[in-house]
Amino acid sequence: MSKLFIVPTPIGNLKDMTFRAVDVLKQVDLILAEDTRTSGKLLKHFEINTPSQSHHMHNEHRTVELLVQKIKSGTTVALISDAGTPAISDPGFLLTRACIEHQIEVDCLPGATAFVPALVNSGMPNDKFVFEGFLPVKKGRQTRLLLLAEETRTIIFYESPHKLIKTLTHFCEYFGEDRPVSVSREMTKLYEETIRGTAKEVLQHYTAKPPKGEIVIVVGGKTKD
């Protein structure tokens, strides 16, 4: 029976690819990839010869219905992103929702994602947390920060290296300079690091040493007065 598989891929270290993920990608009829050039390297490494086509944020609104009809007609499809679990700050939600609405079976495999190890590495409470992904770039950013300033649970953000200083500056402004912050960079890769401290201390560190690579920020929740 045709179905949609959601398949996580490594966020850096290829050894994090699961045996099951490789098997699924070899067995399906079609792989939907965020960037076929990036995914091509992964597929070649694991000797996966399944045909692939692009499925990204710029075309997913236009292609969802066509893909649903293709799956309903008998094509088994796997969805991957450039790194990590699809639909977590990556394309995938629209297709998953559409498949569910059309009563197509969806099977999401467990696997790599950046925010879980970053949360655990932070040493902050992780029994309850909020995943925010990327903050708004402009419109709505201040409103979101004001709302999150009152959040008592641990908060997780994704950020790009060239926006990290701006974001940490805003954390000092809206959350307070003493709010605990942990920045994990280049997770699972050769130069992986986690810098912990107050918002001010972490800002000072990355002001002196501009960051590179993929970044996860973990922020402690507001404590009771």
Q: Which string of DSSP letters, residue by residue, matches the chain?
A: ---EEE--B-SS-GGGS-HHHHHHHHHSSEEEES-HHHHHHHHHHTT----EEE--TTTHHHHHHHHHHHHHTT--EEEE-SSBSTTSSSTTHHHHHHHHHTT--EEEPP---SHHHHHHHHTS--SSEEEEESPPSSTTHHHHHHHHTT--SEEEEEE-GGGHHHHHHHHHHHT-TTSEEEEEESTTSTT-EEEEEEHHHHHHHHHHS---S-EEEEEPPPPP-
Q: Is 36 exposed, middle or buried (0-12, 13-18, 19+ CB in 10 A)?
A: middle
The predicted model scores a pTM of: 0.92
User: pLDDT 10s per residue in the chain (225 long)?
Assistant: 689 999 999 999 999 999 999 999 999 999 999 999 999 999 999 999 999 999 987 777 888 999 999 999 999 999 999 999 999 988 899 999 999 999 999 999 999 999 999 999 999 999 999 999 999 988 899 999 999 999 999 999 999 999 999 999 999 999 999 999 999 999 999 999 999 999 999 999 999 999 999 999 999 999 976
* DSSP β-bridge partners for residue 32: 53, 79
Look up the CATH number of domain 4-108: 3.40.1010.10
The residue among 133, 58, 132, 60 whose CA lies nearest residue 97 is: 60
Q: Burial letters for 107-117: b for 16+ Cβ neighbours within 10 Å, e otherwise?
A: ebbebbbbbeb
Q: Where are the domains of the chain?
A: 4-108, 115-219
Q: Please state the CATH superfamily assignment of the domain spanning residues 115-219 in this structure.
A: Tetrapyrrole methylase, C-terminal domain (3.30.950.10)
Radius of gyration for the chain, computed over Cα atoms and rounded to the nearest angstrom: 19
User: Is the fold of 4-108 the same as that of 115-219?
Assistant: no
